[in-house]
Amino acid sequence: MTLNQKVSAKTYVLLSLLIASLAVNVVLLYSLSSFTQRMAVSSLTPHYNASSSIYIVGVMGGSHVKGVAMLLEGMLVEGNGQVYVSTTPKIGIELQEAAEKAFKAAQRFVGIDALNLDLMLRVVSNESVYVVDGPSAGAAVAVLASSMLLNVPIRKDVVITGTIDEYGRIGPVGGILYKAEAAAKMGAKIFLVPKGQSVDRVYVRVEKKITPSVIIVYYKPELINVEEYLRSKGYDIHVIEVSTLSEAFNYFKVQG
């Protein structure tokens, strides 16, 4: 073997060893990264069964429209990033979609990719509620999921209504006045509403007598400051506007 051939063979061996060493390092770094991520989620959600609850408010229709407060219970379990909602009372498609967006918003907010966790939700009501639907509980679901991912408690005297997208932006909903009164009745001290909805438009029944036997009934729109209305009813509650999950979550934090 010539000198050049010996040098070439030695270079080939060294290059092979270098490539093998780099490959091993890449595998080790990937394994370490995956392990660190799993440990981070595991430490935030011990044994994959972190649980919490939050009050949500809705509107019941029929002959007498009114607001209703319900308890939303949540639990994080080992899974693959799905959201499951109990069917008693029955759950509508809009609420299911809102819950899925809310779970994504919560993960983005806390900075955790919960691909190995499922969010389980259950609505508990003291009233006879047959169907719970609509996107207005989305913001509440996002707050609840965030609290469990962070493994921190949240205040039970704060209630929120509002839609939410996966980027954590809170959007408008209907029935603010009815929902606010329901929140106040169950003892809430703070009611969080979407931006621009601390004043609600309601329709007041007006009767106009034309003749002794003819009465015209119509509904006149009227703007009502929600907090002032609740205080006139004897409730001690603050109505605060929020536009993002980050803003809302600050009000739910337990101080001290």
Residues with catalytic annotation?
A: 136, 179
Using H for helix, E for strand and C for coil, what is the string for 53-122? EEEEEEEECCCCCEEEEEEEEEEEEECCCCEEECCCCEECHHHHHHHHHHHHHHHHHHCCCCCCEEEEEE
How buried is residue 86: exposed, middle or buried, by Cβ count under 10 Å (0-12/13-18/19+)?
middle
Query: Residue 197 is inside which H or E element, if any?
Result: none
Query: Residue 126 is inside which H or E element, if any?
Result: none
Q: Tokens standing for 167?
A: 């980027």
Q: Which residues pair with 2 in a beta bridge?
A: none
Hey, is 243 helix, strand or coil? coil
